[in-house]
Amino acid sequence: MILTPFIRFLMVGILNTAFGYTLFVLLIWLGLYYPYAVGLGTVLGVLFNFQTTGRLVFGNAKWQSIFRFIGVYFLIYLLNVGGVAILLELGCTAYLAGAILLIPMAGISYLMLHFFVY
């Protein structure tokens, strides 16, 4: 079965999420104060995500693209926060707003990574 790049993107997203959360749990378990665990986990998670997304989805993980990668995720963050704010104004709960935005944010992330990073 041949997987489309977007399906690979979603599968790699699951892998990246599992890696990031496992790393956070491990750092907390090792006794690291939670703000440091979040910070270190985020930095290592972004590097892991850059490599897995680049290699497994787009076939390209050249380090020259890391700043564009970070920039795309910063823009995705802003879009996500803005989308949640709009949906909250429309009467959604934060949980529902986050759920509604999952697929659109994944699609936008994929397109931005495809056209601006890889």
For 44-75, the pLDDT digits (tens) are 999 999 999 999 999 999 999 999 999 999 99
pLDDT value at position 3? 84
Long-range contact set of residues 7-11: C-beta below 8 Å, sequence gap at least 24:
8/56, 8/57, 9/53, 9/57, 9/106, 9/109, 9/110, 9/113, 10/106
Q: Which two tokens stand for residue 94?
A: 């934060």
CA-based end-to-end distance of the chain: 24
Residue 102: how many other CB atoms lie within 10 Å = 10
Q: Is the pLDDT of residue 2 over 80?
A: no
| Distance of alpha carbon 74 from alpha carbon 2, whole angstroms | 31
For 107-118, the pLDDT digits (tens) are 999 999 999 999
pLDDT value at position 54? 96
Instruction: Give percent of the chain with pLDDT exceeding 70.
Output: 99
